[in-house]
Amino acid sequence: MRNSIEFELYGPYALFTDPLTKMGGEKMTYNVPTYQALKGIVESIYWKPTLMMIVDEIRVMNPIKMESKGIRPIDYGGGNTLANYTYLKDVRYQVRAHFIFNLHRPDMAFDRNEHKHHNILKRSLRAGGRRDIFLGARECQGYVEPVEFGSGEGFYDDYGEIHFGTMVHGINYPDETGRNTMEVRLWEPIMKNGVIKFIRPDECTNIRTLSEMEAKAFSHSNVESADELLKKLENGR
């Protein structure tokens, strides 16, 4: 696929939080990553407001296992509370994603250099990402490296279909939709022989408005163009 990357994503623990479990301070992970979590990981590899990252599919390589831990969350009231968090354990995924230009950002038209952005994206992936990789939560450190999607043996290769019910697909922000609202998208994923094919954000029909929000302004004054950034990378800066 054009402007695509394929990578392996892994770590000892992950917490892709089901929002229904946050009400009492407890946290319970989803069985699989959300689209939004994977999009955030791709953006940690390389992000520019010029681009819109699209996650195409994920392949679950390891068996889905969970582990509960007693956690002392930060209590700004000075208390000493104990919460129970349930994490995914020993996770490993293969991910395929690509980028398109964000046409809702006409202010970034000067930075639409497809070839150079793709080169920087692949270079950033080989380096393990331009920012730290987190598997749903800051305490869950993750790692990425290039891989051929579909290679190797996965635990669910011949497992058939698994339905995960209604899950959060992701968040709509104003600079991605052109609407001055923040919205949440819901969907019902199905894993077939270990692979979940994501629908695109604009294909989601179950959308709820969360709040009003305006897009941040970008320009030459606060964004480096792909030409400038690639030149710095080539010079080792």
Residue 36's pLDDT is 96
Cα gap 236→230, rounded to integer Å: 10
Q: What pTM was estimated for this model as a whole?
A: 0.89
The reported pLDDT for the residue numbered 222 is: 72
Contact 48, 117 (CB under 8 A): yes
Q: Which residues, 6+ apart, have CB-to-CB distance to 211 below 8 Å? A: 181, 182
Secondary structure (3-state) at 143: strand
- Read off the DSSP letter of residue 31: S
Give me the pLDDT at residue 237, please.
Answer: 59
Contact 11, 61 (CB under 8 A): no
CA 225 – CA 42 distance, rounded (Å): 19
CA 13 to chain centre: 16
Tens digit of each residue's pLDDT, the chain (237 residues): 789 999 999 999 999 999 888 776 789 999 999 999 999 999 999 999 999 999 999 999 999 999 998 887 777 666 667 888 999 999 999 999 999 999 988 888 889 999 999 999 999 999 999 999 999 999 999 999 999 999 999 999 999 999 999 999 999 999 889 899 999 999 999 999 999 999 999 999 999 999 998 887 777 777 777 777 777 777 765
Domains, the chain, in order of start with CATH, read 4-153 (3.30.70.2660)
Q: How far apart are CA 165 and CA 75, in angstroms?
A: 33
Tell the burial category of 109 from Cβ atoms under 10 Å away from its Cβ (0-12, 13-18, 19+). exposed
Distance CA 28, CA 18 (A): 6
Q: Which residue has the tokens 């001055």?
A: 180
- β-strands 27-28, 83-101 pairing: parallel
Nearest to 118 by CA among 189, 204, 46, 63: 46
